[in-house]
Amino acid sequence: QSALTQPASVSGSPGQSITISCTGTSSDVGGYNYVSWYQQHPGKAPKLMIYEVSNRPSGVSNRFSGSKSGNTASLTISGLQAEDEADYYCSSYTSSSTYVVFGGGTKLTVL
């Protein structure tokens, strides 16, 4: 069982927007702005998409955005494209002895 809770799957049509949630506790997501999001295509390594809750690395499309409210962080993808179909993982610093926690991952299907 993952420390952070994500929906197993989400879907949307091209051009639409979707949001993926990532729920933790006050010891991780809620207590620190150190949430990051990763995109993983089949057979590939994860790619950093969002860091520090809402910052985009250079080269990541501005269709990807992040936010946080309380113990829940969210990744929003606007203007869905076929290439966005992938697994998405959230991660957070945690004050517990595990140091780093990941979500269980969300499979995004572009219909």
Return d(Cα 34, Cα 95) in angstroms, integer. Answer: 11
The β-bridge relationship of strands 64-69 and 35-40 is unpaired
Q: How is residue 21 written in tokens? A: 């949630």
Given candidates 75, 101, 108, 110, which one binds another protein under the rule CB under 8 A?
101
**Contact characters 47-86, another protein, x per CB under 8 A:** xx--xx----x-----------------------------
104 part of the interface to another protein, by CB under 8 A: yes
Q: Which amino acid is at 38?
A: Y
- State the minimum distance, in angstroms, from the CB of residue 39 to another protein: 11
Q: Of 12 and 89, which CB lies nearer to another protein in the complex structure?
A: 89
Given candidates 2, 21, 61, 71, which one binds another protein under the rule CB under 8 A?
2
88 part of the interface to another protein, by CB under 8 A: no
Rg over alpha carbons for the chain, rounded to the nearest Å, is 13
Return d(Cα 50, Cα 67) in angstroms, integer. Answer: 10
- 19 strand-pairing partners: 76
Q: Of 100 and 111, which CB lies nearer to another protein in the complex structure?
A: 100
The β-bridge relationship of strands 72-77 and 106-110 is unpaired
* Residues in contact with another protein by the rule CB under 8 A: 2, 33-34, 36, 38, 44-48, 51-52, 57, 89, 91-93, 97-105
